[in-house]
Amino acid sequence: MRASLNIDDDLLNEAKEITGLPTTATVEDILRRLVTNERQRQALNELEGMGWDGPHHSRPTFETLASEFRALTADRHHTPSETLMREGARNGDDLRHRRQCHHQMGGSGSGNS
């Protein structure tokens, strides 16, 4: 739709500045940016209450969460790969040793003998 508009130049320039658009932007460009930004803002507002509600400084660290997860799964039987991921291979020799032991115990997989 084409229309002739009387728009205040200062207002138009401020809209371009606020949206981060170049001075050559058209009114349509500005409207598209404003609509996109408003939709994003509304989408973010809809997420309110779905995340961490406590203060930022009390958020658990990764180490705390990992420790709690290990404690919760400690009594469960772990596959060799899970054991490696839980404990981490200390070095390449340790990894090869674990593969050899698993292979000798009849486990499947590619062990380097």
Summarised one tens digit per residue, pLDDT across range 33-54 is 999 999 999 998 888 777 666 6
Query: Which burial class, exposed, middle or buried, applies to 96 when counting CB atoms under 10 A from its CB (0-12, 13-18, 19+)?
Result: middle
CA neighbor of 1 nearest in space, from 31, 33, 41, 28: 28
Least confident span in 34-48, 62-76, 99-113: 99-113
Q: pLDDT value at position 83?
A: 75
Asked whether 95 and 89 are in contact (CB, 8 A), the reply is yes
The token pair at 62 is 């990764």
- Judge if pTM exceeds 0.75: no
pLDDT at 113 over 50: no
Domain edges within the chain: 9-46, 80-113
